[in-house]
Each structure stands twice: as structure tokens, then as C-alpha cells.
Amino acid sequence: MHVHALATMHDFQSALATLTPHYAYAALFGILALEGTGLPLVPFEPLFLATAYLIAHQQLDLLPVVLYGAAGDLLGNLIGYHIGRTVGQLLVDRYGPRFHLDARRLAETRAWFWRFGGGTLFIGRFFGPIRTPAILLAGLSRMPLLSYVLWLGVADVLWVGAWQVALIHTGRLALVFWHRIGFRAAAVAFALLLLAAAVLLWRWRARGGGRPA
């Protein structure tokens, strides 16, 4: 292993030595509550790496980590739902014309979430680009709250659990990889993601997706 990667690992271990279980659970709950609202770019990955490392070294238990994380995420989901339900229509009235979201399309969106909202939210939990609009549109569409909570509650548990199990076994490799690629590579990846989204939007509009029927 590269000497700088070893130094990074040592610094990481030193920092974790000061992190007690109570602080770890509180940080996990709070960060994922923010992330669960649909707020983009919340840096939960370093925290997941830290909790996975502590689990691997028997300083934390997997089940409480999953439950605290899922509970925080679900709290954020409920906040996001409330935002969509209370101010979503105001946002549509103000910004809807820019995205060609007229009354007919809004009615179709509401019908979709009443029929397929659960599956949409479940898939969106694992795919970031549709997570935020799905949460807000579920609230705007007044999707039944019980269904919303059940679908996202299951998805949150599986999502947190999958991250933790994966990082327990690959955390050391992930830390070395992050040290090697650095911030610049992450910025390039994000820029490519934005470019892909722009191309998809352009193709959608070119095919007439942006013209009202």
C-alpha cells in the first residue's frame, strides 16, 4: 500500500478513536435526516465509511447503525413530503411554466403517484437523480401517507444496510481509492453527470417532450 495511503489510514483511525458510539449514532441520525429531505449533495458517504469501520472493529453494532440511519432518513423523508404538500403547488405555479408543467401534466403526475408512487419512491431511494423529485412530488400529489412511510421505511433500511455491509468489507480499499482519486476526480465525475443530464434534457425537448399537447 502506498505510504500516503497508509498515512491517510492512520489519520482516519486516529479521528475515529475519539468518536464514541453515542456521537456516531447522533451524527448518523442527523446527517441522514438532512439527506432524507431530498437535499442534494449531503456528504453521507464519509460517515458511512466511519460507521462501517467501527462496526468492523467491534466498536459499533450493525443493527443499531442501520436502525438509527433508517430512522433519520425516514424523518427527513417526512419533512420532504410535508414541504411538497405545503409549498409544492406554489413552486409549480411559479416555476412550472419553465419546465412545461401545466395542469394536465400535474394531474397525470398525481395519478401516477397514487398508482405507482410506492415503487417510484423505493427505486428512487437507490438512484439519486430521481430521489429528490420523487419525494417532493409525492407530497405535492398528496400520496397516502401510510403508503409513503411503508415504502420508504423499507427502502431506507435496505439502503443503509447495503451501504454498511458493502463498506465493512471494502472500507480499507475505499479509503485508499479516495486518497488516490482525490477531489478532482470526484469533481470530474460530477461534471460528467451534469453533462449527461443536460444531454438527456435536450433530447427530450428535441423530441417534443417540452411542447404542451
Do 132 and 35 form a contact (C-beta atoms < 8 A)? no
Find the mean pLDDT for residues 172-193. Answer: 58
pLDDT at 8: 47
Instruction: Please give the Cα distance from 210 to 201 (Å, whole number).
Output: 9
Nearest CA among 191, 193, 183 for reference residue 129: 193
What CA–CA distance (Å, rounded) separates 151 from 93?
29
Taking only the tens place, the pLDDT of each residue in 4-17 is: 444 444 454 455 55
Provide the residue ranges of all domains of the chain, joining segments of one domain with +.
3-182
Q: Which amino acid is at 193?
A: L
Residue 184: the pLDDT is 58
158-178: pLDDT as tens digits: 999 999 998 888 766 655 555
102, with CB counted inside 10 A (0-12, 13-18, 19+), is middle
Residues 167, 175: Cα–Cα separation, whole Å: 10
Give the tens place of pLDDT for each residue, 66-111.
999 999 999 999 999 999 999 887 877 776 677 666 677 778 878 8
